[in-house]
A = this chain, B = another copy of it.
Amino acid sequence: MSPMVIHRFWLSPNVKQVLGSGDLGTLSAILKDKSPNDLADLMTDLAPSEQVTVWHHLPPKLVVDTFQYLVPSIQQRLLKAMTPEEAAGILNAMSPDDRTVLLQTLPTQTSQEVLTLLTPDERAVAVSLLEYPADSVGRLMTPDYISVRQNWSVQQVLDNIRTHGHDSETLNHVYVVDDNGTLIDDIRMRQFLLAGLTQRVSDLTDRQFVGLRATDSQEAAVAVFRREDRTALPVVDEKGKLVGIVTVDDVLDVAEESATEDIQKIGGTEALDEPYMEIALFQMVKKRAGWLVLLFLGEMLTATAMGFFEREIARAVVLALFIPLIISSGGNSGSQASTLVIRALALGEVTLRDWWKVIRRELLSGLALGSVLGSIGFLRITLWSAFSDIYGPHWLSVALTVALALVGVVLWGTLAGSMLPFILRRLGFDPATSSAPFVATLVDVTGLVIYFTIAAVILSGSLLS
């Protein structure tokens, strides 16, 4: 009875069979009882041509809602399969915030053509939303909210909601504006329901409210929503004029998308911007190859660095055995540190001016972690040497070299990994660019230099003499 998440899993194969059999009557019958988001989910799982077939058999009254739940790439495909009249009908009926999402993903040319399909009113709304910068709060806004004046009575407010409320995205708050449209308060709907009908709006205002600026970044909006525990917030322009509202369901999408971007960058790839299963293979390879090649070029410096130490390696091959162990320990500790700092910066737990506090914490952490690994490394070499002579007669010096190199490399990796996100943000880049592989590559080269320098000092009297 209760239409839970499970639906998604049995819906699709069923329809796929019917589509295969070409029985379009049954198809319409199946589609008739579904909700718009079930229909959108279903279409997402289908092949492009099947999506168009299903589209043409949707119950007419669910067409607009279903369209709004689809991702832009499928929306574009369907738009191409529609007559201009059909497209105009859907685009005019879409809620302005969902329409903005679609319009901003279209090529400029197509976007202009689509705008001409809109009625003058809707076009004005659409154009004004598109004027806000990409990734700004303005692009998330809907102008469908309830605004009232201070001198209205509660009765007038309720009548107004009855007349205009059906367009509003949320009824939890009513916004109070003055004659210039400047936002002066937000009032919870429940206050109107609890108040006497003859009371004035001005009796309920306390002129305290939280708002967003249309030009604020979407990630700033996520932080405000997280802090305020609200389901919708009003948006004002530079002069404080109320221009729309943002609802938290769109903010949830933004939060999930920016977490996805950060995660992908931390993994050492460009953000895909499309679901993994939907992005074209060539596109994905391109986005991964960029960083991989860059890291490869950086890592080539390790070959150069090792070239300088070729003499030492030839004389003490045993040193070569520990190269992967030592450089990877630096890389691992560096990617731990950078990942923790990237996320803390993204959540606003840490700001740029905290760099000094972070460096102190990481200095201590790096020393502690380096000492732990160094001790294990030392033990391993001394224990093994008790039973075999794999590490040669100078095993104690080798053990000491490896242990000290580990302390140095882990400390250096930790410091570099924690500071890199700060430096990137300071320079105006995304801190998440200091991905685990990026930090690892950076630390690999310096790790080799640290290792061989320590080896030269400690082993100069014995193995390398």
Contact A193 B171 (CB under 8 A): yes
A203 within 8 A of B: no
Whole-angstrom distance from the CB of A191 to the nearest CB of chain B?
A: 9
Which residues of A368-391 have CB atoms within 8 Å of chain B's CB atoms? 368-369, 372-373, 376-377, 380, 390
Which residues of A274-308 have CB atoms within 8 Å of chain B's CB atoms? 275-278, 281, 284-285, 288-289, 291-293, 295-297, 299-300, 302-303, 306-307
Contact A329 B281 (CB under 8 A): no
Which residues of A97-138 have CB atoms within 8 Å of chain B's CB atoms? none
A397 within 8 A of B: no
Residue of chain B at shortest CB distance from A381? B303
A29 within 8 A of B: no
Q: Residue-by-residue, is A237-263 near B (CB-CB < 8 Å gives 1, otherwise 0)?
A: 000100000011111110110011011
Interface size on A, residues (CB 8 A): 134
How many copies of this chain does one complex carry? Answer: 2
Q: Residue-by-residue, is A400-443 near B (CB-CB < 8 Å gives 1, otherwise 0)?
A: 00000000001000000000000000000000000011001100
A96 within 8 A of B: no
Which one of B306, B336, B368 lies within 8 Å of A267 (CB-CB)? B336
A47 within 8 A of B: no
Contact B325 A299 (CB under 8 A): yes
Given A249-B230, A328-B440, A373-B293; A162-B256 close (CB under 8 Å) = no
For A344, list chain B residues within 8 Å (CB): 275-277
Q: Residue-by-residue, is A211-236 near B (CB-CB < 8 Å gives 1, otherwise 0)?
A: 11100100010111111111110001
Instruction: Give the interface segment out of A72-80, A83-91, A347-355.
Output: A347-355
Which one of B248, B253, B357 lies within 8 Å of A249 (CB-CB)? B248
Contact B2 A209 (CB under 8 A): yes
Contact A300 B380 (CB under 8 A): yes
Q: Residue-by-residue, is A322-341 near B (CB-CB < 8 Å gives 1, otherwise 0)?
A: 11110111011101101111
For A365, list chain B residues within 8 Å (CB): 281, 284-285, 288
Given A224-B5, A252-B255, A289-B372; A276-B349 close (CB under 8 Å) = yes
Instruction: Give the interface segment out of A20-28, A49-57, A313-321, A453-461.
Output: A313-321
For A288, list chain B residues within 8 Å (CB): 333, 336, 365, 369
A288 to B161, CA, bound (A): 55
Contact B321 A310 (CB under 8 A): yes
A300 to B278, CA, bound (A): 39
Contact A299 B328 (CB under 8 A): yes
Q: Residue-by-residue, is A33-51 near B (CB-CB < 8 Å gives 1, otherwise 0)?
A: 0010100010000000000
Contact B285 A357 (CB under 8 A): no
Contact B328 A295 (CB under 8 A): yes
For A342, list chain B residues within 8 Å (CB): 263
* 26 A-B residue pairings within 8 Å (CB atoms): A2-B183, A2-B210, A4-B212, A4-B216, A165-B190, A166-B194, A171-B172, A252-B252, A263-B342, A267-B339, A268-B436, A276-B344, A277-B344, A277-B350, A288-B333, A289-B369, A292-B369, A293-B373, A295-B328, A296-B325, A299-B325, A303-B322, A303-B325, A313-B317, A332-B437, A336-B437
The 5 closest A-B pairs by CB, nearest first: A267-B339, A259-B259, A276-B344, A302-B324, A436-B436
